[in-house]
């Protein structure tokens, strides 16, 4: 249930620390006890570290200080860092992204610059990256870099256009790049 910025306080909560079972359950328990609504969230494990960001709302009166106080015992017990930022009214956006959604996959030998070069090429053409994951797979002697991007194409741009614009980079970086459409499902 989205709450109006007139009647609710909205906060961005960031949690980071060594990965272990129970982090998500513990964090969401704190929010549940406080009566907070999770409006948006993402979490992942990166190199053994856990990272989570949530956008939460709570009916007024409520404060960032109260949220941090409630997270203190949980954060200390789990050896996590918890950060909270109150969101201003103009920072709230529940608009869905317009434009065709696509997945861009990049595979190749690990080397500096892959993420920069691909994302710069997309940014130069106003392609909005809405999600990104990277990972090193394979063996220590033969590492393979994998990058997965979810991107929103500007009006008038097609999947084939993105494939063509990345073709030069594919050869230059000696990587495989795939682009495919993501078809949204209506419920």
Distance of CA 160 to the CA centre of its chain: 25
Q: Are strands 37-46 and 49-59 parallel, antiparallel or unpaired?
A: antiparallel
pLDDT tens-digit map of 140-185: 888 899 999 999 999 999 999 999 999 999 999 999 999 999 876 6
- Specify the pLDDT at position 94: 58
pLDDT of residue 102: 94
Reported pTM: 0.71
Q: Tell me what the pLDDT averaged over the chain comes to.
A: 89
d(C-alpha 44, C-alpha 70), whole Å: 23
Note the Cα 145 to chain centre separation in Å: 19
pLDDT higher than 60, residue 84: yes
Judge if the upstream peptide bond of residue 61 is cis by omega within 30 degrees of 0.
yes
pLDDT digits 0-9 by tens, 9-40: 999 999 999 999 999 999 999 999 999 999 98
Q: Which residues pair with 56 in a beta bridge?
A: 11, 38
Instruction: Tell me: pLDDT of 187 over 60.
Output: no
Domains and CATH numbers, the chain: 8-91 (3.30.70.260), 101-181 (3.30.70.260)
What's the half-sphere exposure (Cβ side, CA atoms, 13 Å) at 139? 2
CB-CB contact of 48 with 79 (8 Å): no
Answer whether 104's CB lies under 8 Å from 166's CB.
yes
């Amino acid at each position: 249930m989205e709450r109006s910025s007139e009647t609710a306080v909205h906060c961005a909560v960031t949690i980071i620390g060594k990965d272990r079972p129970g982090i998500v359950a513990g964090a969401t328990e704190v929010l549940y006890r406080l009566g907070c609504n999770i409006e948006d969230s993402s979490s992942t494990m990166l190199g053994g570290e856990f990272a989570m960001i949530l956008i939460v709302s709570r009916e007024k009166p409520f404060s960032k200080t109260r949220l941090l106080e409630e997270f203190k015992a949980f954060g200390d017990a789990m050896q996590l860092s918890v950060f909270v930022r109150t969101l201003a009214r103009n920072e709230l956006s529940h608009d869905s992204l317009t434009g065709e959604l696509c997945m861009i996959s990049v595979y190749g030998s690990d080397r500096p610059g892959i993420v920069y070069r691909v994302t710069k090429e997309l940014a130069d053409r106003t392609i909005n990256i809405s999600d990104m994951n990277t990972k090193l797979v394979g063996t220590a002697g033969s590492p393979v870099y994998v990058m997965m991007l979810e991107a929103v194409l500007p009006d008038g741009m097609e999947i084939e256009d993105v494939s063509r614009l990345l073709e030069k980079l594919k050869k230059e970086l000696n990587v495989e790049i795939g682009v495919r459409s993501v078809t949204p499902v209506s419920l």
